[in-house]
Amino acid sequence: MPSDPDKTRTRGIADNRDETGRPAPSPAALPNLSEELTAARDVMIDRHLAGRDITDEAVLGAMRRVRRDLFIPESVRVYSYDDTPLRIGCGQTISQPYVVAFMTQTLRLEPGMRVLEIGTGSGYQTAVLVELGAEVFTIERHDDLSLAAEHALDRLGYGDRVTMRVDDGTLGWPEEAPFDRILVTAAGPKVPSRLTDQLADGGRLLIPVGEHRGRQDLVLVTKTGDTLNREEILPVSFVPLVGADGF
C-alpha cells in the first residue's frame, strides 16, 4: 500500500457510485458526439494518425473510442478532435492526438500491464492506456487537474482501472513499483534515475528530454537486466516537468 494514503485516491468498482449509493452513470448515458465532432474525429484517425505512421490497430481503435471532447474544457471543446494541443487550465495542455498515439504505440502495451504515468493532466492519455488493457497509476502535481481528470475518468467508466495521486511524479511511486511501462507526459532536463529504478526488467520508459520550453526529444529507455538503453526517437514540445528531478 502507498505510504501516504492522503495523497492517493484508489477506487474500485464498488466505489463507482454517486452520493445516493446508486451506480454512477454508465458510458451509455453520455451525450452523443455531435455530427461535426464525429466528422472531426474521423479526420483525426484517418488523416492525422493512420495517414501518418500510426499503424497499430489497437491504438487506432482505442483513440477512436475514447471521447476526447469530454476531457476538454467547454470553451475549447469544438477543437477536441483537431490535431493540436489545447489548454486545460493551470497553464497546462492536453497533448496533440498524434503525439498521444505515437507515444502509446511506442510503449508496445499488452493487456494487464502495470503502467506509471507522470502528468495526469486532463486524464485523456490515462483513458487511452486503460482502453488498451493497462492498469494505470498516475501522478499529477496540480490538485485541480487531478480532480477534474478523476471526474472525467469515472464518468466514462475508466475509474476502476486507475489509481491517482497528487505529488511530484519525478519521485515515481516506489510502493507500487516495478512498472512494466512508464510514461512521462511533461519534459524534463534528464531521465530521472528514480524512474528507471522503478522500471521492470524488459520494461520501456518514454520521456521528453530537453530545454525548459524549447527543443526537446522524446527519449525511449529500455531496460534489460540492469542495462539501460537510450534512444531519441521524435522531436517534441511539452510543458515542463516541475519537481525534484525536473526543472
Q: Which residues are catalytic?
A: 95
* Nearest C-alpha neighbor of 163 from the set 127, 192, 184, 139: 139
Q: Which of residues 80 and 170 has its CB atom nearest to ligand SAH in the complex?
A: 170
Q: Which string of b and e fits 194-222 if b means at least 16 CB within 10 Å?
A: ebbebbeeebbbbbbbbeeeeebbbbbbe
CB of 122 to ligand SAH, least distance (A): 3
CB of 199 within 8 A of CB of 178? yes
CB of 97 to ligand SAH, least distance (A): 10
CB of 50 within 8 A of CB of 203? no
Q: Which of residues 56 and 146 has its CB atom nearest to ligand SAH in the complex?
A: 146
* Nearest C-alpha neighbor of 118 from the set 99, 147, 141, 134: 141
Q: Which of residues 134 and 145 has its CB atom nearest to ligand SAH in the complex?
A: 145
Give bridge partners of residue 229 from the DSSP assignment.
222
CB of 221 within 8 A of CB of 199? yes
Closest-approach residue to ligand SAH (CB): 121
- What are the residues binding ligand SAH (CB under 6 A)? 92-95, 118-119, 121-122, 124-125, 139-142, 145, 168-170, 185-186, 239, 241-243, 246
Q: Which of residues 18 and 197 has its CB atom nearest to ligand SAH in the complex?
A: 197
CB of 241 to ligand SAH, least distance (A): 4
Torsion of CA 61, 65, 71, 72, to 10 degrees: 80
CB of 19 to ligand SAH, least distance (A): 27
